[in-house]
Amino acid sequence: MKKTLLIVAILLVGVTSALADVTVTGDVDKTKDITVTEDMVITKDVDISVSVTADVNQGAEADSLLNQTNVENSVTRHEEAGRFDMIYRQAVISGSVNGNTGIVNLNQETGNSINQANLVEAAISWTEAEGITGFANSQASMEQINTGNTVVAVEDSTAGPQKADVIGGSIRGNTGIVNVNQSVGNMNNQANQIVFAVASEALVALAEADLGQTNASNTVREVGTVRIDMIDDSINGNRGIVNVNQSAGNMNNQANVISISASVPF
């Protein structure tokens, strides 16, 4: 009996040490849902406060204020059938305002109820002494208003333009400040405003420009009106500041406002 058990044990040991090839086949299904929700809010507040405490012994300050108003004006032309307004207007600048140096202001108009203005305001404080400090401040304010105006015009377009604005071969090669206003319309406001303040070794330089223009409750009725605005081979080769307003319409507000404040080291 003992011999039989020993033989069986030997046979089992032999079986456990045998080698075999195994092939496994299987199907794997995998489903995965991913949802990402991200809310991001960035709020940034920046407050900048600058305080300058110093003994200033020079300053340059320039202020300019302009107010132009056209209120309840009326321009009436022929309204009867078969009749036309035969008034022809032309504003022409030809071969002019060239090669100037300095400040040039030009207003030209052939219309009705026209406000035109050129303002130049300057403040300069300059010294080369040691220990001199100061400030420069320039402020320009302008208001132009057209309110409750009425234009009625019946014009013959077969005879050519009744209104023509022409700038040809002009406003060229100037150095400095040039302001030009040209209008053949009605109830137009045109303005050029330049304000500058300059101080040597200024600790503070402030510049401010305000512009307000209003057109309200206006009525325009025109029949057969032909108008031309033309700028040809002009406003070329200038150096500095050049402002030009040109209008052949009605109740137009046109303005150029420049405010400059500067500190110049010596």
Structure confidence by residue, pLDDT tens digits, 63-122: 888 888 877 878 777 666 566 667 778 889 999 999 999 988 888 888 777 888 888 888
Tokens 């407050």 appear where? 47
Give me the chain's average pLDDT, please: 78
Give the pLDDT mean for 160-164. 81
pLDDT at 177: 92
Cβ atoms of 192 and 254 within 8 Å: the answer is no
Return the higher-pLDDT residue of 71 and 195.
195
Rounded Cα gap, residues 29 and 17, in angstroms: 36
Beta-strand ranges (E) seen in the chain are: 58-71, 74-76, 89-94, 101-109, 115-125, 134-147, 150-154, 163-168, 175-183, 189-200, 202-216, 219-223, 227-232, 239-247, 253-264
- Assess contact for 193 and 140: CB atoms under 8 A: yes
**pLDDT value at position 12?**
47
Reported confidence tier of residue 170, pLDDT bands at 50, 70, 90: very high
- Looking at the predicted structure, is the pLDDT value of residue 24 above 60? no
Q: Quick one: pLDDT at residue 82?
A: 60
How far is CA 241 from each of CA 99, 133, 141, 194, 231, rounded to the nearest angstrom? 14, 28, 18, 9, 18
Quick check: 214 pLDDT over 90?
no
Provide the whole-model pTM: 0.67
The whole-number pLDDT of residue 4 equals: 46
Element (H, E) at 21: none
**If phi over 0 gives left and psi between -120 and 50 gives alpha, with beta otherwise, what is residue 5?**
alpha
